[in-house]
Every structure is written in structure tokens, then in C-alpha cells.
Structure 1
Amino acid sequence: MNFNYVGNSIPRVDGIEKVTGEAQYVQDMSSKGMLYAKLKTSPYAHALIKNIDVSRARSLPGVKAVLTGKQAYQKLGIYIVDKSILAVDKVRYFGEAVAAVAAVSLDIAEKAVNLIEVEYESLPVMLDVEEAVKPGSILIHPDLKNYKTIPDVFFPEADTNIANHFKLRKGNIEKGFDESDLIVENKFKVPQILHVPLETHAVIARWGTGDKIKIWSSAQSPYTLRNLFSVALGIPIQNIDVTVPYVGGGFGGKAGIHLEPLVALLSKAAKGKPVKFVATREEEISTLPCRQGLTAKLRTGVKKNGKIVAEEIEYLWDAGAYADYGVNITRATGYSGAGPYEIENVKLDSYTVYTNHIFGTAYRGFGHAEIFWAIERQMELVAKKLKMDSLEFRLKNLLRPGSKTITGEPIYEQSGNVIKCLKTVAEDIEWGRSKTEAEKAFEKKTGIYRGKGIAVLHKAPAMPSNAATSALIQMNEDGSVRFNVAGIDMGQGAYTAMSQMIAQRLHVPIEKVHAVFKTNTDSATYDWQTVASRMTILGGNAVLQACDDIEEQIFDVGAIVLRASKRDLALGDECVYVKQFPENKVSYKEIAVGYTYPNGNGIGGPLIGRGKYIAQGLTILDKDTGQGRPALDWTYGAHAFEIEVDSNTGDIKILKVITAIDLGHIINKMLVKGQVVGGIVQGIGTALYETLKYDSQGRLLTRSFVDYKIPTMKDLPELVKVHFIETPQLDGPYGARGCAEHPMISVTSAIGNAIADATGVDLFETPFSADKVYEALNKII
């Protein structure tokens, strides 16, 4: 039988359960006596809480618990501990939860919430990051200096709105600019946007006797949730049992910790009854975290021949009211913040800035989609000033074997090939082909102009050196296999890829490999977090090591049963056999839980393989220069877009998308192509439509899909073509590296560059809405 599964397009192992509705999510769960929770949220973006009267809510029949910040005061934070479970003393963003109710029905809970009366005293709001970093500005967190953080990794600045300042210095920036023939300076902006998972945040919690707590959550990272919960509430880790069933999408928004402590405290207040909270779409939008906004300032010095000699960069990240993952986004986009270019002299400052917006968190790409909007637009504008083709300009400066990144990491032959990615998409889009006279005439007649844009991308997993994962593989009585990892498959196909690896490595039909989708911290192996496109490489290596372990056990038993040396054995068609005499074999079924001789003697025992993997070679970065080794592996790619711009309306139509990603080695072509196309479409949404809008007082205006637009099937490009470049990753499973986040990166840049090519209009802020494009076109007419 052929067991070559890696590289083939195997359907997702969870596909049938999901399309038939059999897959169970937290929203589907219920238990006897379960209560339902609702939140009271703030109508102010910045205000003192003078008084909260919950007496009418408490007296409503059916209400079992009411909490305010006086009871749920404990602080949360994955990297900086700055957010109370419920607002205490003041609110910092519109939609922040100030009270919560648990009742026997949702209707009663909602009535009770409406009976809670809150007296506020409004405070001035801070909505602009450039204003927020100025001396003497309104302080969102006056006690920032007292907050706990991770020393030598994150650097909050006391008595400011700066939650973290990442610095990177390479070479001599002043000397670089002195030697430049041309200096180009620009500022770019990206607004906050939403994750929009199909499943909103959902939690069930039960606070049992002896402070034994059970949590069912739609979280991405159950072990991190358990750890943060333990720290926040002072509960021993062994008392906390977190279960994550199927998850309906996350994109980073369900990493870390959010509503779980509040729901657990409601359960405690309700004398241990289980409490369920499922966010409405409006709560998902206005109370739970979004993607950070960004203001980027780039100053680039180049020689006449196109060589970049100096780059000065400032990133101001709009973290909103709380830091959450924002400080690590600042760090990660700092050490990769000049793009995949070899630049001798770099000065980069990346800041996490508090404002009175909704707080930001991890989002697919972890800040790279935002910074690459600035980086790749800047590259285009510099090339334009040089009167040089932008493809040629990029090729002169891209990283290649022998280059060093801005943190001093060397680039090797096996590091990935961004140059090949760029050349591939440029050739396929017919870069450099001039328009025919007929095409020019058509554009002039209709006012519909065509243009092309290119952009490169890169990203490495943003994680500490102890971001380990582990796996457990067990053989069932019939010789089939089940495996367990605590990394969450929320739609990216990680469990399918791992099933393929296991099936191929152990010579088992993939139909006989079972992935345990429900992850439980009391029974599952440890995993740091499902973030950073790390599951393929770390989880894959862990399951392969578990395969190695179980293989050794199979050989141990097989050597005795077959009377052969272990070195003469091999795995075959669901069996172990003697290489020289293949007919001399014993099946997995016979040894899975122990081999029994004809006389009844038994040997061996259950076959259980364990594996683990931890990133190799990572270092803490120097706090003053940012130099060090922050990256496990770099994934490179490039996009090329062809678009139409209707000058009569400002509408943009995507005609072609050509993408190339160097993913090391393909594990499942069908799944990874779907992942890439999905990322492109998500990127198109952020480029053309998506933005959170606030009024002058910080009140959120875009609270539903009536006002906040995402792409639909009608918005898909006419053609999407994906090229996979395979430069094997030496430490990757079967040579693979992660690419889950990468397809979304640089989509905005390529579209922005295509708009400029089509119309001559240079845009500096996303999204490229029709009214914005139309207004810009009219300014140049």
C-alpha cells in the first residue's frame, strides 16, 4: 500500500463533522441548571465611574449573581498586567464592561443589565497616537509605572502613554543619510479593524467546591488561558481545567485571556452553578479586542544606483485602552520592521501607545500586514523618485544568501528565497508590458484604468524561546492511531497536516489516524499557544518525534516476537517486518496493547509515543540595539495584483492576483492553497472596505455589518493564482515552514501600488474606499 501522504491534497479530517453540523462548539453546549450572562457596558470612551446601583437588578426574579468592579477587580494581561476584569473607578473605551449579570435565562439577564444604573463623570478623550505620545498629554494609565511586565523584554515608559518602546539600531544612521543621493520621507496610516470570526467569543465556567474550576472556552491557547487565569485569580494551576472543543475561527482574537475569569466569578457568586456567556456580534465588535491601528513614518536614503543605505522608521501602534498582545506586536514588527531588505544603516523605534479606542490584540499577521503597507508603498515611492522600475529597485536590495537581517541574523541558502517569489509573480503578471494603443483608447473612453502592483513580504514566528509544544500518539487495539496535541485547529488544517505526517511515518492508512479535536488541559499534552504560524513546524516536529518514540517501542516488541535484531526491522503495511524476509512480520493489531504468545504469555504493553519540540537558537534582543536572533524561521512571499479603477466612481475591481510563498515543503496542497486564497481575500477586505470609525468623543460608530463591511463572494478576484516555492527548512517537518498568516501581508501594499500605476494617485491611508479614491482622483484632475 502507498503511504506517501505528505504533499498530497487530503481532505480535512474535520470536514464531515463541520459541514454536517456534528462538530460541537461552546455555543452548542449546555448543562443542568446553567445560567446565562450579560454585560453592562460603558457609553463613554473615558470617564470616572462615580457610582453603580445594582439593587434593582439583584431583586429581579431569576437573577442569581450581579458583579461590578468592586468584586471583579483582579487585573489581567498577557505581557503587561493593566486590565481589570470589570472596570474599576474609570472606563477607558466605549463598550468596556462595567458590570455583569447571571440569570436563569438570557431575557432575564438582559432585563437585569438594563436595570443597572451607572453614574459617570466624563473625561477628555485621547484618540490620536501622535498626540498621545506628546509630553503632557492625557494619561490613559497614570499607574503604568506600577504595572507588572516581563523585564528586559518589554519597556513601558512611566508617566506616558507608551506601554512599550522597542528600539533597533544597526550601523550609523547619520552616516547613511550623509552618503545618500536621495532621501524620501512619507507617513502612512492603517485604522483598527475587526477579526470577524464566524463563531463569536463563548465561555462556560463552573466554580466548584474547593475552588476547583472548569472552563469551556472558544480560546486559541488553553494552556496560556489556564496560566493567566491562575495568576489573575490566585488559583493553583492544578485547580483549573480548561476544555476547548471545536473553534469557529480566531485569527488571533481568541488568543490570551478575555472573558473567562468574569464568567467564572459569576459562577462563584451564583454558588457554583455553571454560567454561559456567548458574545453577540455587537459585543464582539465593541467590547472584545480588535486589530491595532498604526501610524508609520519612514525616511529612506538611497544611492543613485538604487541601493538603500539608510532607513529611519517610527511605528506608532494604536493599542487602544489596554496593551494585551500589543506590546509584543510592537516588538515583533520592530525586529522585522524594514522588510526583507539588506540595509546597512537602520534606526527603528516602535511604540505601543495607549488611546481611548477599543483595545487591540493579536491579528493574523501580527502587525506585519500593517507595517508592510508602509514598507512596500515606500519602496514604490522611492523607486518612482529614482525614475527606476520598482521591480529592479527591489531586486537590488532584497535579502539573499550571505545577507544579514536588521537584527544581525545571517541568511542561508535554506532560509527561503524572496527573490524567486518576487520574480515568479512579476513574470506571471507580465510586469513591464506596456499598454497597447487600443487599451489606452479604451481607458480614455470609459474612464476605467488598469494598473499593476507588486509587493514582497516576510514574517517569522513571534514567540519566546520557551514556546514549546508536545504530542502524544497512542495505538488502539485494532492497530489504528489517535494523537493529541494542545495546539488548536480552528480551521487552518493543522490536524490534517499532522495526520498526514503520522500516517506516512508509521505506514498507517490515514483513515486510521484519529485527531483528538477536544483539547483538555487535564489530559492533553502541553502547548504554549496556537499563534505565530508555528503549529506546522513545532507541532509537526513534536508528532514526528512521538512517531520515533512509538517506532522504538514497536521495534522492541517486534525484535522479540520475530527473533531479529532491531536494526534489521522496518515498518511496513500496518506491521513491523524483517527487512531480509518481509513475510516474517507481525501486525500492529497484534502488538498495539501487548503481544500474547499461544501459551498465554504476554509481553510489551500499550504503545504510546511522546514527542516534544522547542525553538532552537532564539535569544533575547539587546534592549538598546535590538540585535540578536529572534526568529525560528522566516517565510517569504510576494504578491502581484492587476486592478481596474473606475475614475467615474472611485470603485476598484480586482482582476488578477498572483501570489508566491516559499513554504519550505508542501504538506497538503489543497489545504494550503485554501489558506493562501483565504488570506488574500481577508487582505482585500482590509485594503478596500474595513475600518472602525469613532465619533469625536470616542464612541464607536461601526457596531454592525450594516456599517462595517467585509468581502463577500461578489468581491472575489476574477483570477487567483498561487505559486508555491519550496526551499526546504532544515529543522522543519519534512522541510515545511509556517505560512498561515503570510498571505494577508502586503495585499494592501500591492493594491495601493496598482492604484498608483493605474491612475497616478498615491494613497497613504487605508482602506481604499470608493469615496476616498474618487476624492483623490479629483484632486489631480
Structure 2
Amino acid sequence: MNEKKYRHIGKSPLRVEAREKVTGRATYTFDMELPGMLYAKCLHSPYARAEIVSIDSSAAKALPGVKAVLTGEDIPYLLGLYMIDKRVLARGAVRYQGEAVVAVAAVDEETAERALSLIKIEYKQLPSVQTIDEALEAKILVHEDINELEYIKGVFFPQPDSNIASWNKTIKGDIKKGFAEADLIVESELTLPPVAHVPMETHVAIAQADPFSNQIKIWTSTQSPFGVRQLLGKAFGISEGEIQVTAPYVGGGFGGKAGIHLEPLVVVLSRACKGRPVKLTATREEEFNQLPCRAGMRGHIKTGVTKDGKITAVEIIYDWDSGAYADYGVNVGRAATYSGAGAYELPNIELHSRTVYTNKVFSTAYRGFGHLETHWIVERQMDLVAQKLGMDPYEFRMKNILRDGAHTISGEHFTASSGRPDKCLEAVANEIGWTGFQPEADRKAQFKTGKVRGKGIACLQKAPAMPSNTSTAAIMQMDADGNVRVMVGGVDMGQGSNTVMGQIAAEVLDMPLEKVKVVWENDTDRNPYDWSTVASKYTFMGGNAVKRCAQNMVKQMKEIAAQVLRCPVEELEHGDEAIYHIQHTNKRISYKELAMGYVYENGNGIGGALVSHGVYMAEGLTYLNPENGQGLPALDWTFGAHGVELEVDLETGDIEIIKIASAFDIGQAINRKLVEGQIIGGVVQGIGSAVLETFKFSPDGRMLNPSFTDNKIPTAKDLPGKIVPIIVEYPQTDGPFGARGIGEHPMVSVPSVIANALYDALGINFYHLPMSPEAVALAVAKEKLI
């Protein structure tokens, strides 16, 4: 455990932007208005798959106040993160119900809405691909040009003449031999539906395109300003330097704002309007129906074990319903190949992960990046196997959990500094008083009361999924008064990263936190580069960059102070806002005296304004071997576990979570209160996936619940009786002060642990999400428990 004492690390200062947000002074893209600004609206396809026969927009164009009406025929650009497969507006055909077909820019939103009502579109409705099985049959191709699509070769593997956008795999050991050595083989199939991200601030973008050059200015609610700049530059065929992307305060993202979505459309509308700024604000219905979601998924898992509970072989097939476009979906599928078998040492495994196209709203990154989905399969299977063995699921997990000296499924060597999943599992089991499955007699005795209790446990793991050349940078400047300003490329969308970066800088500089200011607004023309604020990587990568930046500033101050104090640099230390001699501590110079260069009594000056930089690269990462998935894809691993006690109403199917304990080995908590907040928020979000959230589609692909009326998320009334965050700290050697990420992890395995506790309570196994009150009540009735 990490027991080192720090001045700022491990403490809980308030988030630096808290006052601005709670008083309403924080400005989001949603709030912004620019001189001469126009407002955009989109007309969406009513069909999942159809040919666009004709579009008559003449009446809309003639409406006073309308400045531009664009269709896909007006916009030649192709977009994509990993596969270039999407147009700004549908062109020739639509691929999902809700896809944008026509865009209007007008003097106000009311006029734009009126213009949309005047547009006449003739469609020829076509049969569509709605299920994973239909996609795999490939009788209909969602992308008939799949063989010609541009994509990142060697990383993603689209299959010719199919609906498989990428087929990635991992093979370790000899799976046939492993199953031959098993005393028991258990096969299961589980599914979960697509769900929405539901950030408080919907997607919003404003663009102003200079009509006389390629210069473009964009203000957008994004997690990835540098990613937006890069992808726009590629799509438009212009230099990234001609594109300025600004991210003001961002009202939540959860991965849904990590790619590029509304920005290209407002750019082309601005161009069509002779450079006037154009703003497009997605409605909540468009968030559900047009903008990307979390993929639905089906997992088939087969596990071989010996009588004493050692896993000998695992075979997994993940099929991801990624909707009409690849976006981040193919990378979610890729991540499953090295992280999708859980926190266990598996000597023999074969894992296939197929990302398939269907005619539904497309998927993207979502908090957990596929790990909630894969751990729904894996952690349910661990309990299912334990049931068949007649073994305590806790003991079964502990027999197979990753420990020092083990190897992950991609071949990475696991060491003590990689983390301690066993300690996380132990912590939650102790917290909920786990003693194994309750005896059948005890369970049945509760049935007479109409309510029954149960307990469950589940493990989890996640590593950042990102390119091997990912880097991030920080810039720091000291003002004349000795205060420090820090500029980073990461986006604080509510997770508190700017507060954490300030703590790291203040710790290295050994100065009061209130004298360190992390500049908030993120601007690609001014801020240093960061790939994207995703993957729970920013505390690790941004923290290392800020740490190096602060160390660089200390080095500069020592070099100047060595000249003034006439001693070697090696004999100088820093602290309490001063550089001083290690032996003669009264010989010191304050930071303030060095901030703008030191001035001698005779007026001579040395040094100059203190400006430093720091860069951190994701060092040592490799591509995965296309044939067997072996390689080093992970920068760091964060392990965790949940333990839950719940009560089920046998008549209504309602689940009341009495207590949930969630433990994570994050190496070192930089800000303990923020970590606890992440855990509580992630757990509640995971509960939503477990018991409430789902997209519902008609057989022909029409979304049936694109609003909060029929698509619920948890509210304060759904909070568990008690959430117990447990912080485990076994430091990561190369992490900033030993830290690892925690952003996405808390919602991973929450559905699994609830399902495991439901089995303990009811003796019923659930294989499909969500486990809604209706689903639970129907299962109780089917088993005739009452």
C-alpha cells in the first residue's frame, strides 16, 4: 500500500470550477451567441433503410429568413475515425431511421423548423438489417461499398462482401488441449441492448468559415478538440493549422462527444452562408435518435474448468451491433480482444470480436468502452460456472485471479505494480459480509414474506484503448507575483481533471494550491496537444506531462539560483516557494524573485520569464498481432470489484439495492473526494444499464422510445441505500505519484454484480439486460416462486 505523505496528493480540495458552475456563471457552447449568428436544424429519415428518390427544397429556400438549405448532394466529404464510411448528410440512401438528410440555416430556430416542414422528400423504402444474425447472414449489405472503404490497415479487419466492419481475435495457448483437460464445460449466451449517453448538455456546435480562405473557427461541446481538428482537416483536405477548435465548459460526455459529429455540418452551412456563424443544438430526441449510442452486444462464452476450480480454457465470441457506421465501434470491438476476458489468468483462450453493421443508429465510445458489456458476459459466467461446480464464487475467482508473475490474454507480463485485483475482491466481500451462496432453505423461507434478499460479487478490469503513438503535453508559466498558470490539452467535462492537474503541479513545485491556476478553456490554437480526453488515461498521461512540466520549471529556477548563490545545482533544493541550499538553508531565493529573471543589486539581470513544458508519450505500446492478438496494447490497468446486497419484491419485481461496495486499485488517489465522486456516479450509471435503460426498435428499425418519457435513466430516487467507495492503493511505478485512472471503471460489472445477487436471492439466472421490474416479475412468475 502507498503510505508516502504528500502536501497536496491524496487530499480533497474542492473542484476549481465548482463556484462558477453552481452560480450559473460557467459558459457552455449551448449558451454562446455570436454576432450575426444563424441557427441550424436537420430533417431526419423516417426509415431505417431507403433510397432517396428526390428532394424538393424550393419552398424552404424561398421562406424569408432562410439562408441555406443543404442536402447530401451538396456535400462531397466522407468522415470516419477508423473507417471512412459516413457522410455529413445522407447521400443517395439512408442507413438508419433518424439519419440527417437535409440541413437548414436560418435567422432563428423557429424559421428553420418552418423551413423543414416545407421540404418534400420521396423515399423508396428498402428491407433493412435489424439483428446481428441478419447482419452475419449478409443477404443485405448495409454498406455495399465495404470492399472499397478506407480504413486503418493492420488494426481493423473489415470482411469482404459482408456486414462485418472489423473482426479482431486473440489466441493464447492451445484451446483444444485446455478443453480436453477440463472436468466441466459450461456454455452461456448473454445479451444487452444499445443505450444512450444522456449528457446534461446535448451536442452543440458553432462554426464560422472564412469565405475568402480555408480558415475555420469552431466552438463545440467536445471531449476531443484536437481530434475534431484532425478529422476535419482530413475530411476537408486542408491543413490542421487552418482550423481552430475551442471547447468551453462541457456539460458531460461519457464518450459520446469523443468523435466528430455536428462540427462538419455547421462548417459547410457557414460556408454556404458566406461566413456567418452557424449554431446547431441537438434536441434530446436527436441525442437518442440521430447521435451515436452504446452498441448492443451478444456474447457466447464457453469455459472449461477442473473439479478444484482452475480454468483450463475459455472460448468467447462477441458480436457488436454497431449500427450504420463504424465510428468508435470498431475500436470497442478491438479492445475486447485484449481486455474482454476479465481479471483472470487464462492459460488457453480463443476470443473473437466482430463489429457488425446494422440499419440502426450507430454506436461510439461509451463510459467503459465495451468493458461493461464484456464483463456482463464474463462475470456472469464466473458465477454460472461456480454454481455448476458447487463452489463459492469468491473462492472460484480467487483461484484464477491475476497475480504477480501471470500473463494477460495478450501476453503482457503481470507484476505487483500492475495492480491488485485480489485485494479489491477481498475488500468488497468483507464489506458486504460475503459468506457464499445462501442455503436454499434460507432463500425459500424469505419467499413467504414477499421480499427476499441476496448478495453478489463481481470483478473488473480496464486499460486505456488508444493508439500506440498517443501523447499529451503541458505548458506552465510563472507570473511576476510568483503564481503559476498551467495549460493542458485535456478537457475537463465534469470529472475534475483540471483540479487534479493543479494538485500535481502544486505538489511538485511545493507551493499553495491556490497559487496554481489551470487555464480552463481549451483552444487548439493556444493549448498544447492532447489526443483526446477518453480512456481514463488523463490522470496518468496528463498527470505525467504536468509533473514533468513542473520539474522542468524547478530545474530552470535551480540553474538561475545556482549562479546567484554561487553553488552547484546539485546542492540546491526547493520548497515553500523558494530555492535554497541543502546545507545552508538560510541561503535562499524566492520563486517570485526568479519569475521574470533575477535582478542583482547593480541592476544586472539573468534568466528571464519562467516558461516550461512537459510531454508524456504512451511508451512501449505495440500493435496487436493480427493472427493471435498478442502484443502490448495497455498503458496501465485499473482493477476493481463490486459487492452488493439487494432486496427483491416478488410481486412487483422491484429491486432495492441496500448496499453496494466498490473497490478500485488506483495506485494513488490524487484527489480522494473526486475519486469517491467518480465511484458513486459510475455505480449509479451502471445501475441504469442494469435495470432501466434500453433502446426499443420496431421490426422495420424505427426507434420506439427516443425520449425520457419511455427511455428512463436513474434519478435520485433510484440511489442505493448505501454506496461504499473503497480506494485501494498499490502504486503504479510509472504513474504520476503512483496513480492510475478511475474515470470509466466504476460502472463496469455493476449489471453483473446485480444479476449475481439476484441469483442468490431468487435462484434465477438472468441472461439479458435490462433486468427491469417487469423482467424480474415475469421470471418470478415463470418459476412459480409465489
State the TM-score bracket (shorter-chain normalisation): over 0.9
Contact 1:154 1:327 in 2 (8 A): yes
Structure 1: gaps spanning 5 or more residues: none
The answer for the alignment partner of 1:291 in structure 2 is 294
The answer for the alignment partner of 1:171 in structure 2 is 173
- Partner AA of 1:182 in structure 2: L
Verify: 1:247 aligned to 2:250, yes or no: yes
Q: In structure 1, which of residues 511, 530, 534 is the aligned counterpart of residue 537 of structure 2?
A: 534
Between the aligned partners of 1:657 and 1:350, the Cα distance in structure 2 is 31
Aligned in 2, Cα 1:437/1:772: closer, same or farther, shift over 3 Å?
closer
The answer for the alignment partner of 2:151 in structure 1 is 149
Contact 1:167 1:625 in 2 (8 A): yes
Between the aligned partners of 2:529 and 2:781, the Cα distance in structure 1 is 57
Give the aligned CA root-mean-square deviation in angstroms.
1.4
- Partner AA of 2:380 in structure 1: R
Aligned in 2, Cα 1:377/1:448: closer, same or farther, shift over 3 Å?
same
Aligned length: 779
Contact 1:207 1:268 in 2 (8 A): yes
The answer for the alignment partner of 2:577 in structure 1 is 574
Structure 2 SS opposite 1:718: coil
Contact 1:3 1:509 in 2 (8 A): no
Q: Deviations over 1:32-69 (max 9, x none)?
A: 10000101111111111111111111111111111100
Q: Deviations over 1:586-607 (max 9, x none)?
A: 2222221222233332221110
Q: In structure 1, which of residues 35, 38, 41 is the aligned counterpart of residue 41 of structure 2?
A: 38
Q: Deviations over 1:656-715 (max 9, x none)?
A: 101110000111110100001100000001101000111111111111111011111111
The answer for the alignment partner of 2:130 in structure 1 is 127
The answer for the alignment partner of 1:460 in structure 2 is 463
Q: Deviations over 1:495-530 (max 9, x none)?
A: 111111111110221111111111111111011111
For normalisation by structure 2, the TM-score amounts to 0.98
Aligned in 2, Cα 1:3/1:474: closer, same or farther, shift over 3 Å?
farther
Contact 2:319 2:356 in 1 (8 A): yes
The answer for the alignment partner of 1:65 in structure 2 is 68
Contact 2:292 2:364 in 1 (8 A): yes
Contact 1:200 1:280 in 2 (8 A): yes
Q: In structure 2, which of residues 215, 226, 229 is the aligned counterpart of residue 226 of structure 1?
A: 229
Structure 2: gaps spanning 5 or more residues: none
- Partner AA of 1:151 in structure 2: K
Q: Deviations over 1:627-671 (max 9, x none)?
A: 111111111000011111111111111111011100001111101
Between the aligned partners of 1:434 and 1:51, the Cα distance in structure 2 is 63
Verify: 1:392 aligned to 2:408, yes or no: no
The answer for the alignment partner of 2:339 in structure 1 is 336
The answer for the alignment partner of 2:606 in structure 1 is 603
- Partner AA of 2:164 in structure 1: I
Contact 1:92 1:140 in 2 (8 A): yes
Between the aligned partners of 2:438 and 2:417, the Cα distance in structure 1 is 38
The answer for the alignment partner of 1:101 in structure 2 is 104
- Partner AA of 2:298 in structure 1: T
The answer for the alignment partner of 1:775 in structure 2 is 778
Q: 1:614 Cα deviation (Å)? A: 0.8
The answer for the alignment partner of 1:561 in structure 2 is 564
Q: 1:118 Cα deviation (Å)? A: 0.9
Structure 1 SS opposite 2:609: coil
Verify: 1:272 aligned to 2:280, yes or no: no
Contact 2:482 2:592 in 1 (8 A): yes
Structure 2 SS opposite 1:653: strand
Aligned in 2, Cα 1:556/1:320: closer, same or farther, shift over 3 Å?
same
- Partner AA of 2:23 in structure 1: T
The answer for the alignment partner of 1:29 in structure 2 is 32
- Partner AA of 1:245 in structure 2: P
- Partner AA of 2:200 in structure 1: L
Structure 2 SS opposite 1:684: helix
Q: In structure 2, which of residues 469, 473, 491 is the aligned counterpart of residue 470 of structure 1?
A: 473
The answer for the alignment partner of 2:189 in structure 1 is 187
Aligned in 2, Cα 1:436/1:700: closer, same or farther, shift over 3 Å?
closer
Select between 603-612 and 578-587 the one with higher mean Cα deviation: 578-587
Between the aligned partners of 1:88 and 1:623, the Cα distance in structure 2 is 34
Q: In structure 2, which of residues 660, 663, 667 is the aligned counterpart of residue 660 of structure 1?
A: 663
Structure 1 SS opposite 2:267: helix
Equivalent runs, 1:590-629 vs 2, <5 Å:
590-629=593-632
Select between 433-442 and 617-626 the one with higher mean Cα deviation: 433-442
Contact 2:394 2:436 in 1 (8 A): no
Select between 340-349 and 318-327 the one with higher mean Cα deviation: 340-349
Contact 1:480 1:508 in 2 (8 A): no
Verify: 1:401 aligned to 2:404, yes or no: yes
Between the aligned partners of 1:431 and 1:31, the Cα distance in structure 2 is 58
Between the aligned partners of 2:500 and 2:155, the Cα distance in structure 1 is 33
Between the aligned partners of 1:650 and 1:682, the Cα distance in structure 2 is 20
Q: 1:337 Cα deviation (Å)? A: 1.6
- Partner AA of 2:170 in structure 1: L
Verify: 1:237 aligned to 2:240, yes or no: yes
Verify: 1:671 aligned to 2:674, yes or no: yes
Contact 1:73 1:86 in 2 (8 A): no
Between the aligned partners of 1:614 and 1:599, the Cα distance in structure 2 is 44
Q: Deviations over 1:224-272 (max 9, x none)?
A: 1100000111121111011111111100000011110110000000000
Q: 1:141 Cα deviation (Å)? A: 0.4
Structure 2 SS opposite 1:290: coil
Between the aligned partners of 2:529 and 2:668, the Cα distance in structure 1 is 26
Aligned in 2, Cα 1:435/1:258: closer, same or farther, shift over 3 Å?
closer
- Partner AA of 1:632 in structure 2: L
Q: Deviations over 1:466-519 (max 9, x none)?
A: 110000011011110010111111111111111111111102211111111111
Q: Deviations over 1:291-312 (max 9, x none)?
A: 0010000011111111111111
Structure 2 SS opposite 1:252: coil
Q: 1:434 Cα deviation (Å)? A: 7.8
Between the aligned partners of 2:782 and 2:277, the Cα distance in structure 1 is 60
The answer for the alignment partner of 2:769 in structure 1 is 766
Contact 1:3 1:508 in 2 (8 A): no
The answer for the alignment partner of 2:204 in structure 1 is 202
Between the aligned partners of 2:740 and 2:459, the Cα distance in structure 1 is 18
Between the aligned partners of 1:3 and 1:632, the Cα distance in structure 2 is 25
The answer for the alignment partner of 1:421 in structure 2 is 424
The answer for the alignment partner of 1:11 in structure 2 is 14
Q: Deviations over 1:384-403 (max 9, x none)?
A: 01111111111111111111
Contact 1:372 1:745 in 2 (8 A): yes
Between the aligned partners of 1:467 and 1:80, the Cα distance in structure 2 is 19
Select between 151-160 and 176-185 the one with higher mean Cα deviation: 176-185
Between the aligned partners of 1:388 and 1:572, the Cα distance in structure 2 is 56
Q: 1:441 Cα deviation (Å)? A: 8.3
Contact 2:639 2:665 in 1 (8 A): yes
Between the aligned partners of 2:337 and 2:520, the Cα distance in structure 1 is 35
Aligned in 2, Cα 1:210/1:313: closer, same or farther, shift over 3 Å?
same
- Partner AA of 1:190 in structure 2: L
Contact 2:443 2:761 in 1 (8 A): no
Select between 432-441 and 725-734 the one with higher mean Cα deviation: 432-441
For normalisation by structure 1, the TM-score amounts to 0.98
Equivalent runs, 1:709-728 vs 2, <5 Å:
709-728=712-731
Q: 1:433 Cα deviation (Å)? A: 6.6
Contact 2:421 2:640 in 1 (8 A): yes
The answer for the alignment partner of 1:634 in structure 2 is 637
The answer for the alignment partner of 1:160 in structure 2 is 162
The answer for the alignment partner of 1:410 in structure 2 is 413
Structure 2 SS opposite 1:348: strand
Q: 1:580 Cα deviation (Å)? A: 2.2
Contact 1:3 1:507 in 2 (8 A): no
Between the aligned partners of 1:442 and 1:496, the Cα distance in structure 2 is 51
Contact 2:371 2:748 in 1 (8 A): yes
Q: 1:579 Cα deviation (Å)? A: 2.3
